[in-house]
Chains A and B, each alone.
Chain A
Amino acid sequence: AQSVSQHNHHVILSEAASLELGCNYSYGGTVNLFWYVQYPGQHLQLLLKYFSGDPLVKGIKGFEAEFIKSKFSFNLRKPSVQWSDTAEYFCAVNENLGSYKLIFGSGTRLLVRP
């Protein structure tokens, strides 16, 4: 069965530090990839997505992610985090077979200290 792994459950950074959150998936075929974010007290919202084309995708608020097919990875990055980036981040994967089924990772809780 398809699965998504986020190995970092909790990350603590100081402002201006660089961020990289790992995401690996198990499905060997064509996939669609997403990162969602949940800020404290808010609902989940889309950060960025990859369907095809350039494997380096840019999202909102300065975030980007790189799809590396050979590594089954879709890591999230940001060069310089801000206190307002404190949130929980979820990677999600969908099989590109016309299925609407979206599988989420366990999430990474990021705390940015001012």
Chain B
Amino acid sequence: DGGITQSPKYLFRKEGQNVTLSCEQNLNHDAMYWYRQDPGQGLRLIYYSQIVNDFQKGDIAEGYSVSREKKESFPLTVTSAQKNPTAFYLCASSTGQGVSPLHFGNGTRLTVT
């Protein structure tokens, strides 16, 4: 079955460490997205990519970095510069044609202590 795989489901890190969240899709979608979900704040866009080797900052990109070297992969690195990294992170993809609906992964819950 086609879909989006985020791993791991739960991730724990010490403050000051960088951590990379994985997102892989086999839907052959051009566009991929990273959102952060916090209680009462909905989903906030971190980064998005419309095509391989290209990506744009979302509304809360500070302290995060991404790469898009392959169409199917869009890893997110949470750096030590991110002041409040503990959150639920969601990856999504879309065909990008017109404005197609997003397909979401199951998310990664990151806890930094």
**A34 close to B104 (CB less than 8 A):** no
The answer to the question of A43 belonging to the interface, with a C-beta cut-off of 8 Å to chain B, is: yes
**B90 close to A104 (CB less than 8 A):** no
Residues of A contacting B96 in the complex (Cβ-Cβ under 8 angstroms): 100
Number of residues from B at the complex interface, CB < 8 A? 26
**A45 close to B43 (CB less than 8 A):** no
A90's contact among B33, B42, B106, by CB below 8 Å, is which?
A: B42
User: Within the complex, what minimum Cβ distance (angstroms) separates B44 from chain A?
Assistant: 7
**A100 close to B106 (CB less than 8 A):** no
Number of residues from A at the complex interface, CB < 8 A? 25
Residues of B contacting A101 in the complex (Cβ-Cβ under 8 angstroms): 45, 48, 56, 58
Bound-complex Cα distance A104 to B45 (A):
8
Residue among B42, B90, B99 having the largest count of chain A Cβ atoms under 10 Å: B99
- Residues 90-105 (chain A) with a chain B CB within 8 angstroms: 90, 92, 94, 96, 100-105
The answer to the question of B85 belonging to the interface, with a C-beta cut-off of 8 Å to chain A, is: no
The answer to the question of B2 belonging to the interface, with a C-beta cut-off of 8 Å to chain A, is: no
Bound-complex Cα distance A52 to B107 (A):
31
**B94 close to A100 (CB less than 8 A):** yes
Give the nearest-CB partner of A99 in chain B.
B99
The answer to the question of B78 belonging to the interface, with a C-beta cut-off of 8 Å to chain A, is: no
| Interface positions of A (Cβ within 8 A of B) | 1, 4, 6, 9, 32, 34, 36, 43-46, 49, 51, 90, 92, 94, 96, 100-107
Minimum-distance CB pairs A-B, first 8: A106-B42, A104-B43, A44-B104, A46-B101, A32-B99, A107-B42, A43-B104, A104-B42
